[in-house]
Structures are given as C-alpha cells and as structure tokens.
Amino acid sequence: MKEIAATSGKPKPARERLLEAAKHAILAKGLAATSIEELIVEVGISKSGFVYHFGDKNGLAKALMERFLEEDRLILEGIFRRGEELDEDPLHGFLVGLQLLIEMLQRLPAAHPGCIAASFCYQDQLVSREIRDLNLSAASGWRRQFRTRLGRIAERYPQKIKVDLDELADTAWILIEGGIVLSRMMQDPGILPAQIRVYRDFIRGVFQGE
C-alpha cells in the first residue's frame, strides 16, 4: 500500500481523519463500544469509504495499533536517549530518563488517555491474531530495551537488592500499563507518574542502596 504523502496544506484525507476519530473514541469507550457508523458520521464519509480504506473493523484496529505503537515508541525512545545524553553514566542516564518520563506524564492534562495496547489486550477474540502479535512484539521490544539498560547498569553497579533483571525490566512495562488502568479507574491522573516514581526509587535502591 502506498504511503500517504505528506500533503501539508490540504484538508486531511479521510483515512487520517478516521484514524484520529477512532483513536479518541476507542480510548474513551473501547473497541466494541465504538461503532463504525459513528466514526463515518463524525468525519463525514460513507460506509463504502470506510470499507475502501480499512476493509473492516479489524483493519481499522490494526492500522491504529501500528500507528500508536510506533508513536509511543518514538516518544519513549526519545526520552531515554535524552536521558543518556544528559548523563552518560548508565544508572544516572536511566534515572534521568525516568524523571523526564515522570514529568511528561505529569504535564498530560486529564487522566492519561490510555493506551491502545492496554485497551486491546483484554478484547482478545475481538481482534485478530495479527493485532495481538503486534502488541506482543512491541512489549517484547520494551522488555529488551529496558533489560539492556539494566544490564549496562549492573555492569558498573553491584546490586544492593537482589532482583532478577529480566523481571525488573518487565516491571517497567507493567507499571506503565497498570498505572494507566488505575489512573483511569480512579480518575486520578497523578497515579501513573507516581508509579513511575516508585519504579525510579526502586531502581536507585537496587543499585545505590539507601
């Protein structure tokens, strides 16, 4: 499929507008509760137009997943690279990255809009194998990323608290996804950044002690 050219000034093509509308609706209500009808009315397109672009709801879900996994990846990667720029020590670079993440999350307005990944993983049979695999490979990517950083830290800093680094890498992903969920549930946007702060404190505790 041809990529949408970066047509700057023109009105955004329907495909774009559909993805945007779908993003908001799905994050707010979930995939199942979002109807194709409401989306096409919102962006002013026909049902046939929808079918032309995405085939079916699953196609829309897949396109969304691809887009937002990539978006999140870029943001998070940028943050942690910046952390390493600011302090080349592996431990402190990581701690700076975490702090930048915390501050970014604090700046977000209301309760975090949530994460398409989290939103899909409990709607299993509703989305295709393909989509679950996308989600899975993204999570595996994060696991590797964090694991690598923790490994580099461990080379220089002896562990004051004994924990498995693989598990500690998973903890980051879990606190983010779980934090989003609890933030939503409690209607408290502060919960997510607070949990990253807990993670940061733990990392410091593990490698620096009290």
Our finding on whether 13 is near its own copies (CB under 8 A) is no
Instruction: Choose between 74 and 136: whose C-beta lies nearer to its own copies.
Output: 136
What single-letter DSSP state applies at residue 32? T
What single-letter DSSP state applies at residue 3? P
Write down the least CB distance from residue 30 to DNA, Å.
11
Q: Which does 162 bind (CB under 5 to 8 A by kind): DNA, its own copies, none?
A: its own copies
DSSP 9-43: SSPPPHHHHHHHHHHHHHHHH-STT--HHHHHHHH
Contact map string, positions 44 to 63, toward its own copies, x by CB under 8 A: --------------------
What single-letter DSSP state applies at residue 189? T
Distance CA 53, CA 206 (A): 49
Instruction: Choose between 90 and 195: whose C-beta lies nearer to its own copies.
Output: 195
Distance CA 99, CA 167 (A): 21
Our finding on whether 182 is near its own copies (CB under 8 A) is yes
Tokens read off for 190? 């502060």
Write down the least CB distance from residue 57 to its own copies, Å.
11
Tokens read off for 210? 């009290």
Distance CA 100, CA 106 (A): 10
Instruction: Choose between 37 and 164: whose C-beta lies nearer to DNA.
Output: 37
Contact residues toward its own copies (CB under 8 A) are 28-33, 114, 118-119, 121-126, 132, 135-136, 139-140, 160-164, 167-168, 170-171, 173-175, 177-179, 181-182, 184-186, 191, 194-195, 197-198, 201-202, 204-206, 209-210
